[in-house]
Amino acid sequence: MSWLFLTLAIILEVAATLSLRMAVASRRVWYVAVAVGYILAFTFLSAALSTGMPLGVAYGMWTALGVVLTALLGRVLFKEPFTPVMWLGVGLIMGGVLLVELGAGY
């Protein structure tokens, strides 16, 4: 159950961050989505922790996947740059998350 909660937290955090980007054009509507998304993201992150997921694993996955998904979706949705150096960064993030996972033994 903790992985489901964490997955929902990641999806909602990414959605809230993308909504923040959309708020540049239409503030009122998108700021509501930002606030609701972040509140729900923290709620589900807390739920993942309350079911026994270690903090290092939960927060590491939440932030790392949030960064990667936001960068990739920023490229797709907003035509933002995604350079080879950024690809390297994504690879390093994924490697770091894998090491945290393996180290936690969870």
Spell out the long-range contacts of 27-35 with Cβ–Cβ below 8 A and sequence spacing 24 or more.
Answer: none
User: What pTM was estimated for this model as a whole?
Assistant: 0.86
Domain spans of the chain, in order of start: 2-104
The per-residue pLDDT for range 31-57, each reduced to its tens digit, is: 999 999 999 999 999 999 999 999 988
The per-residue pLDDT for range 80-102, each reduced to its tens digit, is: 999 999 999 989 988 888 887 77
Question: What pLDDT does 103 receive?
Answer: 80
